[in-house]
C-alpha cells in the first residue's frame, strides 16, 4: 500500500497550483490518496487568497482519492501539521508530507514510497526526505542513492506512526534541557538550530520543525536523504509567511534522471557532515550573497532583502 500524501495549503494560489501540477505529474499520483489540509484565514485581507486556493483544491483530480479538510479559523502551520499528520498517520501507519510551495520531480513519490518501505523496520531511521542539499560527494557515489543525517528538511518528508508522537511536540521540558547544549546542537544539527529552538521556547516562533529535528537527535535516530533532490522550493520571494523577501541559499541539484528504482544501503551511518552542515552557517549565507552581487539580478535580490530586513527591524 502506498503512503498517503498530506498537503498543507493556505493563501498562495500561484504556488499551490504549481505544487499541485507537479504532484499530479508524478508516476504514482493516480495510485495515491491525497489529503489536503486548508487552514483558515488570519484576517480579512487573507480571506480572498484563501478562497482562491480552495477553489483550486475543489477542482482537483488525478489521484486515487482526494479528501479536503478545511478550517474556518486559522490555527497556524505548526498546529496544522502536528494535528494533520497525527490524524492521517494514526490511520495509515505512514505518511508523505508536503507544503504549498514545493514542486516535485515525477519520481518523488517513487523515491518516498520505496524509502518508507525499505527503512520501515530500521531502528536507527526516524524519517525520510525528498529534498536534499547539493553535495559534491554525490557525484562519486555509485552504490547508493541516499545518505543520512540527524537533521531532516521540512521540504517534502515522510515518517511512520511509531516515529511520530504528538505529545512530544508539547513537552517543553525536553527542549529546555537540550537548549543549554548549544555547541552539541551546532555540531550535530547546524549553527541555526540553537537560535530556532530558543525562539520557540521564548514564544517568538511556533516551529514544529525544530522540535522534530531535536527529537531525532535526542533519540539518536537519522533521516534518509537522496543525493539528488526530488523537490524544489518555490516559496521564496513571495508573500508567504516564512520565506518572504528572503534569499534561498540552500543549493540543490534536482533529479532529472526520472529513474524509478533506487539503491538503499543496509548499513546506516551518518556521513558527509562537513558538507551538509556548512549550509546552516552564516559564513555560507554571506558568501552566497557575495556571489549574487556579481550579477544585476542577484544584486537586486540582495538589496531588496536588506531593505526588507531593515524595515522590519525598525517596526
Q: What is the pLDDT of residues 147-204, one digit of tens each?
A: 999 999 999 999 999 999 999 999 999 999 999 999 999 999 999 999 999 999 999 9
Q: Confidence class of residue 284 from pLDDT cuts 50, 70 and 90?
A: confident
CB 4 within 8 A of CB 89: no
Number of independent structural domains in the chain: 2
**Is residue 247 scored above 90 in pLDDT?**
no
Q: b or e along 265-283 (b: 16 or more beta carbons within 10 Å of the residue's beta carbon)?
A: eeebebebeeebbebbeee
- 140 and 163 assigned to the same domain: yes
- 200 and 149 assigned to the same domain: yes
Measured CA to CA, the distance from residue 128 to residue 117 in angstroms comes to 11
- 150 and 296 assigned to the same domain: no
To which residue does cell 508530507 refer? 97
- 184 and 275 assigned to the same domain: yes
List, edge to edge, every strand of the sheet that includes 65-70: 65-70, 33-38, 5-9, 94-99, 157-160, 125-129, 222-226, 146-149
pLDDT at 312: 65
- 203 and 306 assigned to the same domain: no
CB 191 within 8 A of CB 160: no
Q: What phi, psi does 32 have (nearest 5°)?
A: -110, 145
- 71 and 202 assigned to the same domain: yes
**Is residue 47 scored above 60 in pLDDT?**
yes
Q: Which residue spans within the chain are E strands per DSSP?
A: 5-9, 33-38, 65-70, 94-99, 102-104, 125-129, 146-149, 157-160, 222-226, 231-233
Domain of 302 in residue numbering reads as 289-315
- 275 and 307 assigned to the same domain: no
Distances, alpha carbon 282 to alpha carbons 57, 148, 257, 296, in Å: 38, 23, 33, 23
pLDDT at 142: 66
Measure the CA dihedral 118/119/121/125, to 10°.
180
- 312 and 225 assigned to the same domain: no
Q: What is the CA radius of gyration of the chain?
A: 19
Q: What is the CATH number of the domain that holds 93?
A: 3.90.550.10
Strand partners, 147: 225
Where is average pLDDT lowest: 4-8, 64-68, 214-218, 286-290?
Answer: 286-290
pLDDT at 240: 43
**Is residue 288 scored above 60 in pLDDT?**
yes
- 71 and 121 assigned to the same domain: yes
Q: What is the pLDDT of residues 195-244, one digit of tens each?
A: 999 999 999 999 999 999 999 999 999 999 999 999 999 987 444 444 45
Q: b or e along 102-139 (b: 16 or more beta carbons within 10 Å of the residue's beta carbon)?
A: bbbbbbbbbbbbbbbebbeeeeebbbbbbbbbbbeebe
- 180 and 297 assigned to the same domain: no
pLDDT at 283: 82
Where is average pLDDT lowest: 33-47, 97-111, 159-173, 240-254?
Answer: 240-254
Q: What is the pLDDT of residues 114-146, one digit of tens each?
A: 999 999 999 999 999 999 998 987 656 668 999
Report, as an integer, the average pLDDT of 27-43.
Answer: 97
- 301 and 168 assigned to the same domain: no
Burial (Cβ within 10 Å: 0-12, 13-18, ≥19) of residue 25:
middle
Closest by CA position to 8, among listed 167, 157, 199:
157
pTM of the prediction?
A: 0.91
Distance of alpha carbon 62 from the chain centroid: 23
Hey, what's the cell of 83?
494535528
- 295 and 205 assigned to the same domain: no
pLDDT at 241: 45
Amino acid at each position: 500500500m502506498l503512503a498517503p500524501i498530506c498537503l498543507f495549503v493556505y493563501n498562495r494560489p500561484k504556488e499551490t497550483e504549481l505544487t499541485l501540477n507537479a504532484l499530479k505529474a508524478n508516476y504514482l499520483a493516480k495510485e495515491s490518496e491525497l489529503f489536503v489540509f486548508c487552514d483558515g484565514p488570519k484576517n480579512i485581507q487573507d480571506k480572498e487568497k484563501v478562497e482562491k486556493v480552495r477553489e483550486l483544491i475543489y477542482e482537483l483530480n488525478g489521484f486515487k482519492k482526494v479528501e479536503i479538510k478545511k478550517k474556518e479559523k486559522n490555527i497556524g502551520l505548526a498546529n496544522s501539521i502536528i494535528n494533520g499528520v497525527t490524524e492521517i498517520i494514526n490511520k495509515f501507519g505512514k505518511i508523505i508530507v508536503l507544503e504549498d510551495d514545493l514542486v516535485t520531480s515525477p519520481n518523488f513519490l517513487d523515491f518516498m514510497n520505496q524509502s518508507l518501505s525499505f527503512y520501515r523496520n530500521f531502528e536507527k531511521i526516524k524519517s525520510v526526505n525528498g529534498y536534499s542539499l547539493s553535495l559534491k560527494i554525490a557525484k562519486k557515489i555509485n552504490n547508493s542513492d541516499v545518505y543520512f543525517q540527524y537533521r531532516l528538511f521540512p521540504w517534502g518528508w515522510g515518517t511512520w506512526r511509531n516515529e511520530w508522537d504528538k505529545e512530544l511536540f508539547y513537552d517543553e521540558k525536553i527542549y529546555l534541557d537540550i537548549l543549554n547544549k548549544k555547541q552539541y546542537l551546532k555540531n550535530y544539527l547546524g549553527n541555526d538550530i540553537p537560535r530556532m529552538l530558543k525562539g520557540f521556547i521564548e514564544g517568538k516562533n511556533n516551529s514544529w520543525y525544530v522540535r522534530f529535528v531535536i527529537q531525532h537527535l535526542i533519540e539518536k535516530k537519522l533521516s534518509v536523504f537522496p543525493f539528488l533532490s526530488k523537490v524544489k522550493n518555490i516559496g521564496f520571494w513571495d508573500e508567504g509567511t516564512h520565506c518572504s523577501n528572503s534569499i534561498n541559499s540552500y543549493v540543490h541539484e534536482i533529479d532529472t534522471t526520472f529513474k524509478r528504482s533506487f539503491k538503499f544501503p543496509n548499513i546506516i551511518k551518518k556521513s558527509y557532515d562537513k558538507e551538509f552542515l556548512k549550509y546552516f552557517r552564516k559564513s555560507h549565507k554571506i558568501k552566497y550573497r557575495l556571489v549574487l552581487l556579481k550579477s544585476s539580478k542577484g544584486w537586486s535580490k540582495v538589496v531588496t532583502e536588506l531593505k526588507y530586513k531593515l524595515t522590519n527591524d525598525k517596526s
